[in-house]
Amino acid sequence: MAAADTSTLESEHALELVDLRREFADKVAVDDVNLRVPRGSFYGLVGPNGAGKTTALSMAVGLLRPSGGQAFVEGVDVWQDPVEAKKHLGVLPDGLALPERLTGGELLTYWGRFRGLDAQVVASRSAELIRLLELEEAEALGTLVGEYSTGMRKKIGLATALLHAPSVLVLDEPYEAVDPVSARVLTRILRRFTATGGSIVISSHVMSLVESLCDRVAIIANGRVVADGTLDEVRGGTSLEDRFVELVGARDIDEEELSWIGS
C-alpha cells in the first residue's frame, strides 16, 4: 500500500533532484540541490557561468556520477536503474560528442536502431527531423558530422534526443548557435512536445527566451538553487533578468579598469 502511494507521488514529477551534490577536488560544483519538475512543464534552468547547471543536469540524466543525493526521472532512480530511467529521457548534453565519420542521417539510423526502434520508424522519423531542422542539403551532399557547423551539430544532437519519442527532454543550451529560422522550428517542436504531455528542462543564458518559453524556472548560483517556482513567482513583478542580477549580483567596470583598451 505504502509503495503504491510513493510511486504515484514520484510520477507527478518528470524530474526530481534530491540533495544532489558534486565536488571536484575542493570545489563544490553542485551543493545539495533539490528541484522538482512537474510533469508537462517547460522548465528553465538559469545561472551565471560556472554556477553548476551543466554539472547538475549531467548528474540528473546519468552522465556524471553524483558525490551525493539522488535523481529521479518519471519516478525512476537514475543511478539505481539507469536503463529504465534513460528509456524516458531525450538528452542534449553540453559539448556533445558525436561520431564524426557518419552523415546526420547515418547517425540517426545508428542511434534509432541502438534505441531498439523499428527500421522503418527510424527511417521516417529521421527524414522528418532532417527536413524540419533544415539539414536536408547537408544530407544530400553527404556531409559528415565532423564537417558540420556548431549550429548543425546542435540540431543533429536535438534530432537524436527526439528520435525515440521520450517523455522528458533535458537540453543543455539547445538554442546556442542555432539560427533564427531553425530556432523558430525548434520552438514549435518543443511547444508541441509539452502540449502533448511531454516535459522539458532547458538551460539557457538568454533570459528573454526562458521568459517566452518556460512556465517554471530555477536560478542557480554557486551550486545552489537561489530561487525556483513558476515564472511569475521567480520574477516577482520584475523581469527575469532583473531578478537574476538582483540574486546573483552584478559587477560594474570602474573608470580605471581596462583604460588601456583603445589607447
Ligand X SMILES: Nc1ncnc2c1ncn2[C@@H]1O[C@H](COP(=O)(O)OP(=O)(O)OP(=O)(O)O)[C@@H](O)[C@H]1O
Chain residues that interact with ligand X, rule: CB under 6 A: 24, 27, 29, 47, 49-55
Nearer to ligand X, 76 or 225 (CB): 225
Hunting for cell 517523455 — which residue is that?
Answer: 167
* In the complex, minimum distance from the CB of residue 94 to ligand X, in angstroms, rounded to a whole number: 6
Q: Cα–Cα distance between 223 and 100 in angstroms, integer?
A: 33
Nearer to ligand X, 49 or 259 (CB): 49
* In the complex, minimum distance from the CB of residue 249 to ligand X, in angstroms, rounded to a whole number: 15
Give one DSSP letter per residue of 53-91, joined into a string: HHHHHHHHTTSS--SEEEEEETTEETTTSHHHHHHTEEE
Nearer to ligand X, 67 or 196 (CB): 67
Nearer to ligand X, 60 or 89 (CB): 60
Q: Cα–Cα distance between 218 and 240 in angstroms, integer?
A: 11
Radius of gyration of the chain (CA): 20
* In the complex, minimum distance from the CB of residue 218 to ligand X, in angstroms, rounded to a whole number: 12
Give one DSSP letter per residue of 144-172, joined into a string: BGGG--HHHHHHHHHHHHHTT--SEEEEE
* In the complex, minimum distance from the CB of residue 48 to ligand X, in angstroms, rounded to a whole number: 7
